[in-house]
Structure 1
Amino acid sequence: MAINHHHHQPPSQPPRTDLFGDPIDHHPSWFNQSAFLNPSFTSESYISDLRTFVPFETLRSELQSHLTSLKTELVELINRDYADFVNLSSKLVDVDGAVLRMRAPLVEIREKVLGFRSDVEMSLSELKCGLRERNVASEAREVLELLIDTSHVVSKVEKLIKELHSVPVDGSNGDLHTAEKSHLSNGVSKQHSKNGTDLRETQSMLLERIASEMNRLKFYFAHAKDLPFIENMEKRIQNASSLLDTSLGHCFVDGLTHKDENAVYNCLRAYAAVDNTQNAEDIFRSTVVAPLVQKVIPYSSSGVVSGSAGDELEEDYKQIKHLIAEDCTFLLQISSTENSGFHVFSFLANSILKEVLWAIQHGKPGAFSPGRPTEFLKNYKSSLGFLADLEGYCPSRSAVANFRAEAVYVDFMKQWNIGVYFSLRFQEIAGSLDSALVGSRLNPIQKSDSEHGLTLKQSLTLLECLKSCWREDVLLISISDKFLRLTLQLLSRYVNWLSAGLSARKNRNSGPNSPFEWAVSAAPDDLIYVIHDLDHLAADVCGNFIGHVFEILKSCSTEEVDLVKDSILQGGKSLKDLVPSVIDSIIDTLAEKCSEEVQQLQGIVAAYRMTKKPPPVRHSHYVSGVLRPLKVFLDGERATTYLTEDTKGKLVQGAAFKITGRYYELAADTVNTARKTETSLQRIRQGARARHGASSDTSGHNVTETDKICMQLFLDIQEYGRNLATLGVEAANIPSYTSLWQLVAPQDRQAEIRF
């Protein structure tokens, strides 16, 4: 039955959409329709994957919606091709006959293909078998050739070694002919030398050939060492190798002894060929280097020192460098020949430096001890110079880098414990400053004892410690950063010592074991030394000291030098910044002493209270003593010697302001108290007169006791102002003096301060 009886293709319908414009059959993102087309699709796994985040009801609803859409799509497809679907049965006529006619030729073709395939597979199998047999034969042939070549090389090496033994080592011994011996015994030394040189050269060339063949033999042995034939030959190979090493060693020693350039060159090529550089280096060390070094630093292998006393190495290094230049340059020049392949040898490290290190360890072990810092540093610097001298024999920068990377070079540098050395120097320098700062008082020094113009032992110790950090016999450039840090720590220690002491002095924090007793008990004259030293220290640190440090660090980069400069300048500034605090401490002490004299103004009240004393006509006696402590201080020997005019001005101004402030406080308190007292007395008198019927009228022209007190204070502050003027201080510029003037001056004198 047709689903739709229209025989024409229905027009395509636009997709249906909902209210929001989405397709009605639109599915959520988690509903993957393509999963149903996967051949490995199973409903159980599909549902188990979705159940963790999709409810069953939602999943069932989506599946039903998808089924409905599939059915609808199927109906639409059938309706679209309905005419072809209906006519399909009418077009399929005699289909079975056509199938029978096509089957026979197809079967025939299939049989032919299967037969051809069988023939091809058989041929392929035979071909693969032949190839395997060929590969086996080829491998066997290669092994056989390798064995034959190995046998030939072993035989050749043994033949060459026999030929080598028939050649005498030199012209003075060996299997020489009788005629040759007779010829040599006739004393023809020139011919003797020539024959010896020729024999060494011949032997060295033969050894080079043998080494080359041994190199080939090692290659063959490495590729066939598991074969029984090779295992049977292993003993012959080892014997040949041992004979080669022995003969090569004798020839190399002979060449070194007679400084035969050609023989040594050939021997080195032989050693390089068999990759046995260590033997060459050891022979050179024992034959040439060791006797030279033992002449300078005698030692014994047991570690018992048998040489000269003392652990200094500078003179030893000088002698060793001279001997190396004289007796070792010959081989070092040969080993540095360009394009010779001798870069594999390291005679500088493994022969010379190793022997020198061994000699020092067994002949002068104390040279490496940092327990004596001065000797240690001298030896270390001498050692660096010795290493630099050895590096001068390197033909290139890469050779220098290789020399420094050698194990013996690293071991040599490890012998010098720079960390322990700095720790000892730190304790020595920092401990010296700490010891100077521990005392309970400031320690002035004799003027003749200080070359730097300093006056205190503490300051002189600081400067000496700072300079010690950068002395040639203390500083190590490689750890200059640590010495810079120590420099800044010394400055900080001194600054903290002073600032903490001044703080304790201000707060009167003193005790029997107080570390700040020096500051609390210091007289103003003692603090003059502190001001003077701070100025000199700051100037020296920011001047000559920085210049000395720059001269030492001139090889460093500009950026690094600038950082050093800034840090040291900051330290110098911290010294300079302490000067105002010391000045304030002196001012406080002087102001306190002057204020004791000011206290006497309280006697003015007693002088005029309840007395008939007439109004004053001259200032009080105490006024002349108010500024006396300040004047005595300024006129003292230390102040005139060590204080600059600028510092004196700051001291006078600060003291004047503080003393005048105290003067005003006492005067204001005295006047206010007197006025309150007088008011109370007047009130009591008026009440008494009123009770007795007496007249309460008083004459306005009578001078009261308070007026007399103010008149006396006015005379006093005028004299005080004149005394300030003698010290160079303008009284009118002091706010507290202005307030004091307005407190006691008559009305007609209030406008202008004049005395």
Structure 2
Amino acid sequence: MDEIQYSEFENPSFDAKELVQRYRKRIPLPHLQKILRGHHAATRQELIELINEKYADFVSLSSRMQGVERALKPLRAPLEESSELTKGLHTKLGGLLQKAEEAHQGLARIQARKAALNAYIENARLLQKIQCSTGQKWSNPQESDDFFRDRITQECIARDLRRVRLNLEGASAEGDAPECKALLDEALAFQEDFSKRLQEKLRLLLSASKKGWEASQGDSAADRRIPRSELVAVAHTCKALCTIGHSEPVEQIFAEVFAKAALEEISVACSAAAEEAKRKAMAETSGAKMVAGAVDLAVFFQSVAKAFFTEESALLGFAQRLRRGSDGDEALAVPSLKLVAYSVVLPALRQVQEVWPNVFMPAFPDTFAANYVHFTKFLQAAEEVMDTSEAQVLRRDPALCDFQRKWKTQVYCSLRTKEAAQLMDAAARRLATSEPAQHKAAGGFWLEVSSELARTIDLVWSAWYLSSLFPKMARLSLELLARYGKLLSGFAETSSTAGLGWDAGASPPGWNTSSQPVRLARAASDVLQVMHSLQVDGAGAGTIAKLFLDRLPADEKPKQLTQALLADSAEGLRPTLALLKDEMLKQVVAAMVTHFAAIRGIPAFYRMLNKPVPTKASPYVESSLRPLTAFREVLVGSAIRDTEIISSWLKEMVDGASQEFTSQAAQLIELTRQQEASLRRLAGRGSGGEEQVSDLDKIHMQLCLDVDTFSQMAAETAGGSAEGLSKLIEAVSGIRRDKPP
């Protein structure tokens, strides 16, 4: 092997690609790449040493690899031959599997064809037998010597027809069976003809029963029963039709015979009553705005319920007797029929949609709500005469769901919300100017806005309420309560700038009935009454809470949620109540503290005038408490039930007045001490040695006596001692000659 020309690597401008091509057969490519990388990283001498050190290993590895290749060369041809044989075997096996699969499919088709032919032969014989039996039955209807055998034969034919149809439908679905499809078409055509004959027969039977029922109108309810022979004939005919899956035509026939003409007559009567009511309204109101869409459906729904849901109804008699059999005879039961639902209720609802399509629009909200309530009551009356399964089927029926969706309840709710807002706005505009009305035992409110709130909420749940709008009606009521709280909060804020209204010259002195404190007290009384009406406790529910709870279902979870909403709404009125209380406190305290200016005149009354020792309180004490006493009478007269609330409010007023009294007393004490110190510095002042009580002592005694009297009378008026009174007594404790025990 030629030596590597290291001088080529020493050349700085060597071509690495060319060197790789030259040495790749002698040096493995990874090592050669390492050498080239080393050329860029190491010195020329290090690169040469690396190549010489690993060259022998490279040559040895290359020699061994050539030996391995020579050893494997004899094995290559057998292995390739084995691979070709394996591929050929795989191709042959695949062909065999495909042929087996085709054979299996052919066998399955043969078996399906055989089954279809067997089904065809069996059902063709059965259909021929049915046709023969039916031909004999229709050809000699008067020759039957056994009434029940004739009815049983009719039902057997229906069962055989159903079996033929089901067998042929299954055979046609499983494979290619044109003869089964042709036989199925023949069977369906025969079944349709058989059904038409039975329907005509049922129509004749029901017409005869209707005539007999109408002929017995004068008989008592106990005597007016459907004859058993007629019931048996109708029951077996209905069973035969239901067996072949034609229960819907049965219900349509009942509706045509018993309900169609009656519903048309009732519709005409209802339209005539609506026109008469419209004419009277226009005459009474000199052209009231009325349209045809304002028809009241009370006459229609009540008449339908009276005609079909009482013992006077022949249709209800059939429905009850065919539901579970007559007189306990289960053989006469046709439970698949839903005569009340599909022969009365749904036809009546279709009649409404056809004759009065405008009733679903709330152009006249009162009439819309009344019609919706009439429909709801009609549906409830229908469910009362149904069994549970029939009522459940009716509730899920698409026709009833579509009828319920036609009522534009969302539009109606929006109109009612707007109307309620207008009522509250009108009452709010009169709130600031109107005088509080006299307390009425019926309404129990002083302010017109409170009465309007109670009236509107009652209107929401009585005249406006719809069963499908409970969440929206509840939301509207809660919004009205929140609006009411904001209105009275604004009323309290505007009252803070008004006059006091305290009439000290009256006999006796008192608060004017039109004064702001009186109005605030009565407003607070209304708020408390509204909060009380929202409460639900062991004693029962308040008036407003009862309106909510009476409309709830028996489920406990909605009841708990509603109670929580009512509690939150009552808590939402507490800030309004606190604001009213604060404004009352400010004005009553302002009327009380004006009399405390007389405290500054106590020193002038005793100093250097040789006045006797005081034995009673100053007149200003009683005068300052008169506004509080009079306002207590206002609170009591405002019909506030909770005496604890009255007492707490009076105590807060006493605290406010006591704070001003304390300030005035502290100023007087400090002033007298300064004056006394100045007098002692005057050399010419006579002390009056025989005098045991100084003028300063008399001033302090008078002040203490005023404080004690004020504290006692205020505590009696407020129903308990207040915190401000304790601070007031503590403020004068340092000037008492005899410390209180």
TM tier, smaller = 0.5 to 0.7
Residue 634 of structure 1 is aligned with which of 626, 629, 637? 629
Residue 590 of structure 1 is aligned with which of 585, 588, 591? 588
Residue 276 of structure 1 is aligned with which of 237, 246, 249? 246
**What are the residue-to-residue correspondences of 1:248-263 with 2, within 5 Å?**
248-259=198-209, 260-263=230-233
Asked if 1:451 corresponds to 2:446, the answer is no
Asked if 1:462 corresponds to 2:458, the answer is no
**Alpha carbons of structure 1 residues 379 and 420: separation in structure 2 relative to 1, 3 Å:** same
Residue 344 of structure 2 corresponds to 352
CA contact (8 A) 1:208 1:269 kept: no
CA contact (8 A) 1:201 1:263 kept: no
Describe the superposition over 1:144-164 as per-residue Cα deviations: whole angstroms up to 9, x where unpaired. Answer: 455555655665666566556
Name the aligned partner's letter for residue 698 of structure 1: A
**Alpha carbons of structure 1 residues 581 and 244: separation in structure 2 relative to 1, 3 Å:** same
**Alpha carbons of structure 1 residues 507 and 710: separation in structure 2 relative to 1, 3 Å:** farther
CA contact (8 A) 2:151 2:236 kept: no
Describe the superposition over 1:609-642 as per-residue Cα deviations: whole angstroms up to 9, x where unpaired. Answer: xxx98677799xx964576365156347745733
Count of residues in correspondence between the two structures: 569
Moved more, 219-228 or 311-320: 219-228
Asked if 1:361 corresponds to 2:353, the answer is yes
Residue 322 of structure 2 is aligned with which of 309, 334, 337? 334
Structure 2 residue ranges without an equivalent (≥5): 1-99, 210-229, 278-294, 499-513, 689-693
Residue 40 of structure 2 corresponds to none
Residue 305 of structure 2 corresponds to 317
Describe the superposition over 1:373-427 as per-residue Cα deviations: whole angstroms up to 9, x where unpaired. Answer: 55545544443443344345545x4444334323233334434555555555555
CA contact (8 A) 1:253 1:287 kept: yes
Residue 220 of structure 1 corresponds to 168
**Alpha carbons of structure 1 residues 534 and 278: separation in structure 2 relative to 1, 3 Å:** closer
**Alpha carbons of structure 1 residues 708 and 578: separation in structure 2 relative to 1, 3 Å:** farther
> In 2, Cα distance between the equivalents of 1:665 and 1:657?
12
Describe the superposition over 1:467-514 as per-residue Cα deviations: whole angstroms up to 9, x where unpaired. Answer: 44554x455566656555555554444445445654676699xxxxxx
> In 2, Cα distance between the equivalents of 1:374 and 1:241?
52
> In 1, Cα distance between the equivalents of 2:682 and 2:185?
149
**Alpha carbons of structure 1 residues 132 and 360: separation in structure 2 relative to 1, 3 Å:** closer
Asked if 1:407 corresponds to 2:377, the answer is no
Residue 227 of structure 2 corresponds to none
**Alpha carbons of structure 1 residues 584 and 149: separation in structure 2 relative to 1, 3 Å:** closer
TM-score normalised according to structure 1 size:
0.58
Name the aligned partner's letter for residue 275 of structure 1: G
CA contact (8 A) 1:201 1:262 kept: no
Structure 1 residue 595: deviation in Å? 3.3
> In 1, Cα distance between the equivalents of 2:136 and 2:600?
128
**Alpha carbons of structure 1 residues 149 and 496: separation in structure 2 relative to 1, 3 Å:** same
CA contact (8 A) 2:255 2:343 kept: yes
> In 2, Cα distance between the equivalents of 1:306 and 1:248?
43
**What are the residue-to-residue correspondences of 1:598-637 with 2, within 5 Å?**
598-599=596-597, 624=619, 628=623, 630-632=625-627, 634-635=629-630
CA contact (8 A) 1:212 1:270 kept: no
**Alpha carbons of structure 1 residues 664 and 265: separation in structure 2 relative to 1, 3 Å:** closer
CA contact (8 A) 2:654 2:714 kept: no
Asked if 1:289 corresponds to 2:289, the answer is no
> In 1, Cα distance between the equivalents of 2:104 and 2:652?
113
SS in 2 for 1:556: coil
Structure 1 residue 657: deviation in Å? 3.5
CA contact (8 A) 2:205 2:234 kept: yes
Residue 197 of structure 2 is aligned with which of 247, 264, 268? 247
CA contact (8 A) 1:437 1:497 kept: yes
* Identical residues among aligned pairs (%): 15
Structure 1 residue 357: deviation in Å? 0.8
> In 2, Cα distance between the equivalents of 1:398 and 1:753?
86
> In 1, Cα distance between the equivalents of 2:347 and 2:276?
16
SS in 1 for 2:313: helix
**Alpha carbons of structure 1 residues 139 and 641: separation in structure 2 relative to 1, 3 Å:** closer
Residue 209 of structure 1 corresponds to 157
**Alpha carbons of structure 1 residues 152 and 672: separation in structure 2 relative to 1, 3 Å:** same
**Alpha carbons of structure 1 residues 311 and 155: separation in structure 2 relative to 1, 3 Å:** same
**What are the residue-to-residue correspondences of 1:281-680 with 2, within 5 Å?**
281-298=251-268, 310-312=296-298, 313-322=301-310, 325-330=313-318, 333-334=321-322, 336-337=324-325, 338=330, 342-370=334-362, 372=364, 374-395=366-387, 397-416=388-407, 419=410, 422-429=413-420, 432-433=423-424, 435-441=426-432, 443-447=434-438, 449-468=440-459, 470-471=461-462, 473-475=463-465, 480=470, 483=473, 486-499=476-489, 501-502=491-492, 523-542=516-535, 545-546=541-542, 548=546, 552=550, 556-557=554-555, 561=559, 564=562, 568=566, 582-599=580-597, 624=619, 628=623, 630-632=625-627, 634-635=629-630, 638=634, 641-642=637-638, 650=648, 653-666=651-664, 668-669=666-667
Residue 79 of structure 1 corresponds to none
Residue 43 of structure 1 corresponds to none
> In 2, Cα distance between the equivalents of 1:727 and 1:234?
104
> In 2, Cα distance between the equivalents of 1:252 and 1:726?
96
SS in 2 for 1:408: helix
> In 2, Cα distance between the equivalents of 1:263 and 1:647?
78
Residue 49 of structure 1 corresponds to none
Structure 1 residue 290: deviation in Å? 1.4
> In 1, Cα distance between the equivalents of 2:359 and 2:165?
48
> In 2, Cα distance between the equivalents of 1:467 and 1:135?
76
> In 2, Cα distance between the equivalents of 1:643 and 1:282?
65
Describe the superposition over 1:142-198 as per-residue Cα deviations: whole angstroms up to 9, x where unpaired. Answer: 554555556556656665665566457xx9xxxxxxxxxxxxxxxxxxxxxxx9999
SS in 2 for 1:447: coil
Structure 1 residue 461: deviation in Å? 2.9
> In 2, Cα distance between the equivalents of 1:276 and 1:343?
14
> In 1, Cα distance between the equivalents of 2:567 and 2:167?
68
RMSD of aligned C-alpha atoms?
A: 5.7
**Alpha carbons of structure 1 residues 378 and 201: separation in structure 2 relative to 1, 3 Å:** farther
CA contact (8 A) 2:158 2:244 kept: no
**Alpha carbons of structure 1 residues 143 and 598: separation in structure 2 relative to 1, 3 Å:** closer
Name the aligned partner's letter for residue 357 of structure 1: L
Structure 1 residue 358: deviation in Å? 0.6
**What are the residue-to-residue correspondences of 1:644-723 with 2, within 5 Å?**
650=648, 653-666=651-664, 668-669=666-667, 698-699=683-684, 701=686, 715=702, 718-719=705-706, 722=709
Name the aligned partner's letter for residue 542 of structure 2: I
**Alpha carbons of structure 1 residues 584 and 394: separation in structure 2 relative to 1, 3 Å:** closer
SS in 2 for 1:297: helix
